[in-house]
Structure 1
Amino acid sequence: MKKTWLRAGAIATAAIAVTALGVPADAAAIRIAWQPTVLPLPPGAGAGTLTGSDGKGEYTGTFPVNGVTQVVSWRNGQPIVRGVPSGYDRVEANDENSSGVVAGTIDVDASMISRTYTLDASGYHIKDVPAGYDSVFGVAINTRGDVLGEAYKFGAAGAVVLWRADGSAPVVIPETTDISSARDLDDDGTILVNSGSGSALWKDGVLRKLSPSPSGWAAGYAIRGGVVVGSRSWGGDQAARWSTPDSTVGLEGGGIALSINKAGLTAGLVPTPSGPVIYGNGAVWRGTTPGQVRGPSGYSVFKTQVAADDGTLAGFASNNPQDTAGVPVIWRLTP
């Protein structure tokens, strides 16, 4: 699903059809650039970033509005401020599924207590904290509505938490040397986790480590349909893809891959070996074939962080390479 890295409006009508992979349906070899659209901010809003999409025209992210960090969604290109429930101080959106359900973290600043939430048409729904833990952070949500999070206890080890959509008791996976934190959640319930110096897949109690071979180091950041994308060490950081856990392939021109959609369209960033930050502007791949992303006029920095199921991309733009937020931007593949 997601993906936040620190992991959509309908494709415009065109002379040729475009698939969810971002490939022209009758001309897969044509190299067409994804074109940017800067979305309007709501009154009083500052810099933020888009972190999710329902793949049907809605985009969602985290933005400060009148000094309060909260969830903002764009529908038909217009912003909708989702508000903060009573008793809480700030809300961050980390993911959105195809039903338009948003998942993320909601905080009480004074007590430094965090909760995982989902947000749908009826409002916010706060997840229970597993017994023995103090705070939980929302990481991802899959198509069927399972929610992935991380639980912490002050001064003690944490845990990966899976709240299943059927309402059963949350699955708590204590963190060990093999499971150190949650990264993403696949539609079948497979969890992508950090594992030692790399990554692994957890499902129903079985852990399968991702091989970095043929590189010496690699890490996954997003999973969809069993395919993992991330980064590997290959003459510097290189965007990487696992179609199976056994070995990686590099994604040409990329430094890191951050998000993958149901058809294998992948969003990420190019490397900047000599720059002030490790990763630079946006990059995209159709499977393993690199595409082209154009930045919006007036901005030197643009980050593609979400690959939506309708073949669009989402993220932000700014003018400082070190920024982790800016104006909201979506990209459509249009000839």
Structure 2
Amino acid sequence: MRTKFCWRVVAPVVAALSVAVLAQPADAAIRIAWRPTVLPLPPGATAGSLTGSDGKGEYTGTFRVNDVTQVVSWRNGQPIVRGVPSGYERVDANDENSSGVVAGTIHDYESMVSRTYTLDANGYHLKDVPAGYDSVFGVAINTRGDVLGEAYRVGGAEAIVLWRADGSAPVVIPETGDVSSPRDLDDDGTILLNSGVGSALWKDGVFRYLSPSPAAQAWGSAIRNGVVVGTRIWGGVEQAARWTSPTSTVGLAGGGITTGINQSGLTSGLVPNPSGPVIVGNAIAWRATVPGEVRGPSGYSTFEAPVVADDGSLAGFATNGSRDAGGVPVVWRLTP
């Protein structure tokens, strides 16, 4: 899962292979790599990134198509442009759940208003903006269809918003110095958010703070089935980290930061690059805490895999330019 305004029939084979690999010794597992496939872009498309997957072979992301930023999904390896509703000029896809429902943010440049949406087979559905706020940015969607967002008021306060799948009134959590920036949403409705001391978990009005110990600082980036992955400051540098409970954290070898996690604990991230022009390098993955190799597609120097699908594949982009603009869509699968 990715945060707001991100420009996140092989499944049985991949899943079976992943189980087989887990049974092998750690050194053998490390030698097996995730290998890339560059997906075709639709006509008129340029850079972007895959930001979500249904875990069943569909991948969705945000791409520039004919100079319009919009949602594109790939089914059976082929792109489908999902369009922009009338009255809006831009759509960003941030996440996708196992039912193929996409969540993100849609923008009206004329009114300068942004709305959280969901997108399914019947089209776009806009979420209500909570009273007292002007815009809401979509952050994540979980398996049952709960949607997480962040609301803004011009010149005023911000809030975390949770729209439950049961259609009840949205839950609004005002942001303070200790509560801000929603990061991800677990399947049981737990929200991962930033806090004044790092990160915290919220569920049904109760906050639990992530302990950085034995590090001095740490914060989470994604959550699934109660497992949080993120980053901690270790030896003065950033190190990828994993929490199996709010008070229990371990480092993930070879990683600088994490970017995603799936239902089985497969995690993606980026390697550190302290001597280069940027502080992070290319993609890496872990099965639990065991690192594995993510190979870049031929001809590209930079690649990220923020999406960790439930079928064991990874997805993101590759580029030879600035990673801020994304690149070509790429899917990685674990193959011997």
Q: Give the TM-score category using the shorter length.
A: over 0.9
Distance 1:253 1:25, change over 3 A: closer
Check if 1:27 corresponds to 2:27: no
Check if 1:181 corresponds to 2:181: yes
| Letter aligned with residue 253 of structure 2 | E
1:259-278 correspondence runs (5 A): 259-278=260-279
| Letter aligned with residue 333 of structure 2 | R
Deviations 1:159-195 (A, max 9, x none): 0000000000000000012211110000000000110
Distance 1:250 1:305, change over 3 A: same
| Letter aligned with residue 204 of structure 1 | D
1:56 alignment counterpart: 56
Deviation at 1:26, TM superposition (A): 4.9
Q: Is the 8 A contact 1:212 1:248 kept in 2?
A: yes
Distance 1:309 1:28, change over 3 A: farther
Deviations 1:105-141 (A, max 9, x none): 0000122100000000000000000001000000000
| Letter aligned with residue 58 of structure 1 | E
2:332 alignment counterpart: 331
> Counterparts of 2:250 and 2:201 in 1: how far apart (Å)?
18
Q: Is the 8 A contact 2:11 2:55 kept in 1?
A: no
2:298 alignment counterpart: 297
| Letter aligned with residue 35 of structure 1 | R
1:303-318 correspondence runs (5 A): 303-318=304-319
1:88-107 correspondence runs (5 A): 88-107=88-107
Distance 1:208 1:12, change over 3 A: closer
Deviation at 1:10, TM superposition (A): 2.8
1:85 alignment counterpart: 85
Q: Is the 8 A contact 2:12 2:311 kept in 1?
A: no
Check if 1:18 corresponds to 2:24: no
Question: Would you tell me which structure has more helix in proportion to its own residues?
Answer: 2
Distance 1:277 1:321, change over 3 A: farther
Which moves more between the two structures, 25-34 or 100-109?
Answer: 25-34
Question: Would you tell me which structure has more strand in proportion to its own residues?
Answer: 2
> Counterparts of 1:325 and 1:26 in 2: how far apart (Å)?
35
Deviation at 1:234, TM superposition (A): 0.8
> Counterparts of 1:26 and 1:276 in 2: how far apart (Å)?
39
1:219-234 correspondence runs (5 A): 219-234=219-234
> Counterparts of 2:181 and 2:164 in 1: how far apart (Å)?
18
1:138-177 correspondence runs (5 A): 138-177=138-177
> Counterparts of 2:181 and 2:335 in 1: how far apart (Å)?
38
> Counterparts of 2:323 and 2:138 in 1: how far apart (Å)?
25
| Letter aligned with residue 91 of structure 1 | V
> Counterparts of 2:196 and 2:251 in 1: how far apart (Å)?
21
Which moves more between the two structures, 271-280 or 282-291?
Answer: 271-280
> Counterparts of 2:52 and 2:90 in 1: how far apart (Å)?
18
Check if 1:281 corresponds to 2:282: yes
Deviation at 1:197, TM superposition (A): 3.8
Q: Is the 8 A contact 2:139 2:150 kept in 1?
A: yes
| Letter aligned with residue 178 of structure 2 | D
Q: Is the 8 A contact 1:106 1:117 kept in 2?
A: yes
Q: Is the 8 A contact 1:214 1:247 kept in 2?
A: no
Distance 1:70 1:322, change over 3 A: closer
Aligned residues: 330
| Letter aligned with residue 248 of structure 1 | T
1:116 alignment counterpart: 116
Deviation at 1:276, TM superposition (A): 1.2
| Letter aligned with residue 277 of structure 1 | V
Deviation at 1:322, TM superposition (A): 4.4
Partner SS for 1:165: coil
1:3 alignment counterpart: 2
Distance 1:322 1:74, change over 3 A: closer
Distance 1:4 1:157, change over 3 A: closer
1:118-137 correspondence runs (5 A): 118-137=118-137
Partner SS for 1:18: helix
2:241 alignment counterpart: 240
Partner SS for 1:231: strand
Q: Is the 8 A contact 2:11 2:56 kept in 1?
A: no
> Counterparts of 2:306 and 2:137 in 1: how far apart (Å)?
20
| Letter aligned with residue 331 of structure 1 | W
Task: Give me the CA root mean square deviation.
Answer: 1.7
Q: Is the 8 A contact 2:161 2:171 kept in 1?
A: yes
| Letter aligned with residue 270 of structure 1 | V
Q: Is the 8 A contact 1:35 1:334 kept in 2?
A: yes
Partner SS for 1:24: helix
| Letter aligned with residue 215 of structure 2 | S
Distance 1:4 1:304, change over 3 A: farther
Q: Is the 8 A contact 1:12 1:332 kept in 2?
A: no
Partner SS for 1:155: coil
Deviation at 1:216, TM superposition (A): 0.6
